[in-house]
Amino acid sequence: MKKLILLLLWLPALRGHAQPAGGQSAPEAVFADGEYLEYAISYKVSLVNTDVAGVTFRTAQGRRGDRDVYTVDALGKVYPFYRWFFDLNDSYVSTLDAGTLRPLELKAELREGKYRYSSRYEYDWDEGVVRTTFRNHKNPDSSRRQMPLREGSFDALALFFNLRCADLSELERNGSGTMDLVLEDTIRTIRYRLMGRENKNIRGTGKFRTLKFRCQLATSSGESFEDGSEFTIWISDDRNRIPLYIESPIRVGSIRGRLIEWKNLKYPLDSKMN
């Protein structure tokens, strides 16, 4: 369950390479104040396909000190019927500079059964480092890590909202590439390949024109893709560039996520065919 929730946070980054800072102007934000996206998470094995959880994203524009910022709240929850089996309530809050779309801070609180985990990322772009603090309920003492940043190395939520603003033309020319994902104590590589355009039926939502990507996340050592996560994602082929459907295999069956509700998009969802 946690794996697919994280994948939903990571994968909008597969739209291309953005260069939001480092002397270049930021891409125009394709999301708006008040945007809301909701996904249903399902588990499929054999002929059984059951919705077990939901993930929501809410975006707000505001101020932080002397900066204009976007604040993004992401929340993943198991549906009530399944909480007896596995209770999950994960919250992520990201703050992005509205002018550059660079992340300033990410806070995460994970509550999964009796397990508790909290983390915080603080970005220092002047020094070119990210400082992370993380701890769980078994070890109340915080662990700390400082890692060097490369331009475009962002956490999951920052990738989600930053790179959906990227210019697609470069990706269409190259067909594949890599990007960096900042985690608590490491930076891992995602490798992706554009499979082409596809008309995709999404259960309960409709038929869409999409861009289809196949992706791999490197192992924790960052040296190999052989035992890392694999996943496929379908993205709306319109100016919003939002994830519509995602699928990732597990040892038995697969986990999937699909868009079920959206509000206050900046642009019409022109990719929807019916």
Give per-residue pLDDT as tens, 50-93. Answer: 888 899 999 999 999 899 999 999 998 888 887 777 777 889 99
Average pLDDT value for the chain: 80
Q: What are 221-232's pLDDT values in tens digits?
A: 544 434 446 788
| Interatomic CA distance for residues 200 and 209, integer angstroms | 6
Q: Per-residue pLDDT for 46 more than 80? A: no
Residue 254: which H helix or E strand, with range? strand 254-263
Comparing 2-16, 155-169, 190-204, which segment has the lowest mean pLDDT?
A: 2-16
Contact status, residue 163 vs residue 151, Cβ threshold 8 Å: no
Q: Could you state, in order of their start, the residue ranges of all structural domains in the chain?
A: 2-263
Q: How confident is the model at residue 27 (pLDDT cuts 50, 70, 90)?
A: low
Element at 169 (helix H, strand E): helix 168-174
Q: What is the pLDDT of residue 164?
A: 77
Average pLDDT over residues 131-154: 84
The pLDDT assigned to 223 comes to 45
Mean pLDDT of 155-177: 75
**Do 176 and 192 contact (CB within 8 A), yes or no?**
yes
Q: How does pLDDT run across 135-146, given as a tens digit for each residue?
A: 887 777 778 999
DSSP secondary structure, 26-81, as one string: PPPP-S-TT-EEEEEEEEEETTEEEEEEEEEEEEEEEEETTEEEEEEEEEEEE-GG
pLDDT at 141: 76
Question: Can you tell me whether residue 267 is helix, strand or coil?
Answer: coil
The average pLDDT across 170-185 equals: 77
Rounded mean pLDDT, 245-265: 85
Tell me if the pTM is above 0.75: yes
* Residue of 257, 206, 273, 249 whose CA lies nearest to 11: 257
pLDDT at 24: 45
Is residue 10 within 8 A of residue 190, CB to CB? The reply is yes
Portion of the chain with pLDDT greater than 90, in percent: 37
pLDDT at 162: 66
The more confidently predicted of residues 139 and 116 is: 116
